[in-house]
Every structure is written in structure tokens, then in C-alpha cells.
Amino acid sequence: MENINPAAKGYVENNEEENYVDNEFIKNNKECWEIIKLFSDSPFLTQEEVSKKLNFTKKQLIQFNKKILNSEWAQNYIINSGAGKKYWKNTVIPSINNGRAKAVLDNQYEYPDRIGFCPGLSCQFFCTFCGRNYSAAYEREFGDKGFELFKQIIDQTPNNVAQNVYHITGGLEPLTFPRIGDLIEYATKKGFNMEMKTNGFSLTPEFIEKQEGILELKVLRISLYGADEESTKQVTKNPKGFQRVRNNIINFLKLKTKIKLGLNYVVLHNNLDVVLKLLDYIEFVNSESNNQIDFLTLREDFSAEAEILSTNERKKLLGIFKEIDERLKRKNLDRLHIDYGYALEAIRQENEVFEPLKRVGHEELRPKMFPQISVMIEPKGEVYGYHEAAFLDREGSERYSIGKINENNSLEDILKDFIEKSEGMTKPLPMDISYLDAYDHVITIMLNQADEDNKFGIPWEAGPIKARIY
């Protein structure tokens, strides 16, 4: 094995299922190895970009792709070994396996795989990075009207839809929805696994007592905006936010429910040092409750105004992530799972890939978006193609409304009409990027990649990766 590419050697030696043919393939075929490594680290590349990077003709690339496609070892390496592994496992494979990506590319109707309910009527925080109109709030009547609307959607769900299709999120803060417990309870009784994302401000013992349906959630995600009082206040503009949310988390853990409880945090260029403080926060909460937080989700900021982390900042994060790995051995953190997401996971691979994973520009937005994969719905019944277009009174976001649900127009009706009859959105504007969250970015990139590969003459079925073949 002395001739094997050094970057691949450890993987081969630790892979008990490799076979002789695959070993020889890795050892002796430099061109194939270059393709394997590219897609392992940079899964967003089109076939045309690979051709240019490696100076291969289209015919040569097709031949090399075929060799790679037939190697089980190569397939495992691409999916499991590089900076792009979170992208492969969390985005591509699920979207291919459930048929939704194919439906988008073929312009065929499918009920979405992910539907976000945005029931919140207002919010207690005024976060600096939030794209909502700070004065935006729904009238109280949409507590009951919104509940009936979401019930209608649940009741009309097709039989072949996954149990985790619905999740509760913002826009505005979900716990300001006066029937939030009823909504969770109703969906659960219908057989759906409900997940909710909240700022946690209203999650007091008194609130839970009135909204007992919350205890039927499968997953509860609480967004943090700092690891101490000062940093939280600076972001949220609410002086009571830090202490109240932390106390709410402690009290919630004491309930010892079966709910998976996790924290979300967005990593910005000016808050890198806060990441380690989050572990102090979690340790304190765990010690006060005699229970443990299940997971911490870290994400790089994908908002349009976000300042991209520099190379030095990303290298600093690598050191921080290594320290986190050491601290997770402590008793009060030994159950904690950390999800670094697409961009931050690339840093953890220690392979000198320090640039952020790709984002789309407004000119790359798809006219029909991808409603077969994901849509968002607010209490008035408006259906949006992008997550953050569903923020109430957000300027320009109405252009990304697919339609409005009412007693005569179901979600399925709206989706079928839009997918089968609509020509899609008008020409996107630069500001429209602010309507996309990280998931919207990577899905858009994946679908655009498929279109570009088709145009180039090497569609996915002639590409090097089995996980992308329908």
C-alpha cells in the first residue's frame, strides 16, 4: 500500500470492507483520484467546472466518472471523508431518496418534504440580524384563524407523506401563538412528529402548564443570541432575555420529558470566542437541572448582509472546535451532540479547506423555487417558497408567495397550480437573497448543479456519484 495517495491511505487502512480491485484503482489512477477528492471536499462543482479544473475533455471525464461510479470504495470516500460530507448526508441523499429533487427538476408535482408553520403573532426580541419589520405583528384574531388554517392543512395531508413533514418556526416567535399547545397536540394525534424552534422567552413553567401540548413535541430547539447577559442584550435588545431564557431551559429540563432539547447558535465574525462560552452555559444548565441538553447546533450566518469569515477566523475556529472535542469528555457534557452544519463542518475536516461553502447570488435563484421540497406557511394562509420570505410585512417578499390557502383552496391545490401551470417568479432582485436561509441556499445550488450538468452533456446518471442517481 506504499504507493497509495497519502490523503487516501488512512481511509483505506481503516476500511475493513475494501477489496483488491478498489485498492489498485486508488493507487494507480491519478485522474480518478483527483475527481474523488474534488467531490469529497467541494460537492457543489459542476461537471464543466471539473473539466476545466483538471483539464479533461468531456469524453475523458465521462470515462473517469464511470470508473469511480463502479467503485464502492470511491463512493464511500466521497460521501464520508471530505469537507462536504454534511452536504452529502443532510441534503443530497435525502432529497434524492425521497424523489423530491427529481420532481423539481422534472417540474412534476409532489407534496413537500418539509413544511414550516410560522404561527407566531409577535416577538419579544429585536435581533440586529433579523430581517423582519420590528413593528410587525398579527392581530389577535389570527390565533384562532391560524389554528383552523393549520388544522386544515394537517387534515388534508396525503397518505404517503413522512411523519416529520411539519415543523414550527418563525418569522415571529411561535410561543406568542395563543393556541400553540393545541396545534402541537392536534398534529401529534394525527401521527406527525412535531419539532419547534423558539427563542425560549415565554417557555416558563406557568406557560407550559397552560399549553400542555408543548410536552408532546419530539424536538425543541431554543435559539441563543449570546452566552452571557451583555452579549444577549446587545443582540436582542431585551435586558431580561438572558436570565429568563436560561431559567426556562433549566426548569424545562427538570420536567424530564422525552423531548429532545437542543440549542441553536449562529457563529459570526465578531463572536467566535462565544462558542466556547456556550459550553460553560450548557454545563451550568445541566448541573442545575440534573439532566442534560441533547444537542447544540452551530451555523455560519448565511444572511445576505453577513460578513464572511476570513481565512484566519476560520483557522481560529478549527482550534476552537478541537478544544470543544476535548471538553465533550466532561461528565456534564458527555451526552452533548454538536451539529456544525454544512459550512462549519468543512472546517473540522482539517484538510486546509477554509473557504466557506458556496452561497447563491440573486441571479441564480430558480423561477419556480422548489416547493416539492420545502415551503413556509403563515397564519393568514400565505404560502412562501423561501423560509425568510414568510416574515410578516417583509418588503418585496410577496413576490415569493405561491398562493393563499382558504376554504376553497387547499395547500395541495396551490402547489399543483404553481408547479404545473405557473411560469414562476419575475426576475429576482439583489435584495431577494435575504429571503433564503442556509437550507434554501444549498438546495438551490444542488438543483442548479443538476441543470448545468445536463446543459454540459454529462447528466448526473453519467456523473461519478451514485448518491445523485435517481
Please state, as a whole number, how many other Cβ atoms lie within 10 Å of the Cβ of residue 115. 21
pLDDT category at 126 given cuts 50, 70, 90 is: confident
Please state, as a whole number, how many other Cβ atoms lie within 10 Å of the Cβ of residue 155. 10
Please state, as a whole number, how many other Cβ atoms lie within 10 Å of the Cβ of residue 272. 16
C-alpha atoms less than 13 angstroms from C-alpha of 85 in its C-beta half-sphere: 16
The mean pLDDT value of the chain amounts to: 88
Comparing 134-138, 177-181, 210-214, 279-283, the range with the smallest average pLDDT is 134-138
Please state, as a whole number, how many other Cβ atoms lie within 10 Å of the Cβ of residue 452. 15
105 pLDDT above the threshold of 60: yes
The answer to whether 210 and 250 are in contact (CB under 8 A) is no
Phi, psi of 457 (to 5 degrees): 100, 10
CATH code of 100-363, in short, is: 3.20.20.70
Q: Which residue has the higher pLDDT, 181 or 85?
A: 181
Question: Identity (one letter) of the amino acid at 268?
Answer: L
Q: How far apart are CA 150 and CA 438, in angstroms?
A: 25
Adjacent-strand bridge partners of 264: 223, 297
Please state, as a whole number, how many other Cβ atoms lie within 10 Å of the Cβ of residue 142. 19
427 pLDDT above the threshold of 60: yes
Per-residue confidence (pLDDT) for residue 4, from 0 to 100: 41
Q: How far apart are CA 108 and CA 102, in angstroms?
A: 8
Q: What H or E segment, with its residue span, contains residue 183?
A: helix 180-189
Q: How far apart are CA 100 and CA 113, in angstroms?
A: 7
50 pLDDT above the threshold of 50: yes
Give residue-wise pLDDT tens across range 302-330: 766 666 777 888 888 889 999 999 999 88
Q: How far apart are CA 134 and CA 393, in angstroms?
A: 10
Per-residue confidence (pLDDT) for residue 316, from 0 to 100: 87
Give residue-wise pLDDT tens across range 334-393: 899 999 887 888 788 765 555 666 789 999 999 999 999 999 999 999 999 999 999 888
Q: How far apart are CA 47 and CA 38, in angstroms?
A: 11
Per-residue confidence (pLDDT) for residue 426, from 0 to 100: 77
Q: Which residue has the higher pLDDT, 8 or 246?
A: 246
Please choose, from the candidates 287, 118, 289, the residue with its C-alpha nearest in 3D space to the C-alpha of residue 198: 118
The set of residues, in sequence order, having a beta carbon less than 8 Å from that of 258 and lying 6+ positions away, is: none
Give residue-wise pLDDT tens across range 136-194: 788 999 999 999 999 999 999 999 899 999 999 987 999 999 999 999 999 999 999 99
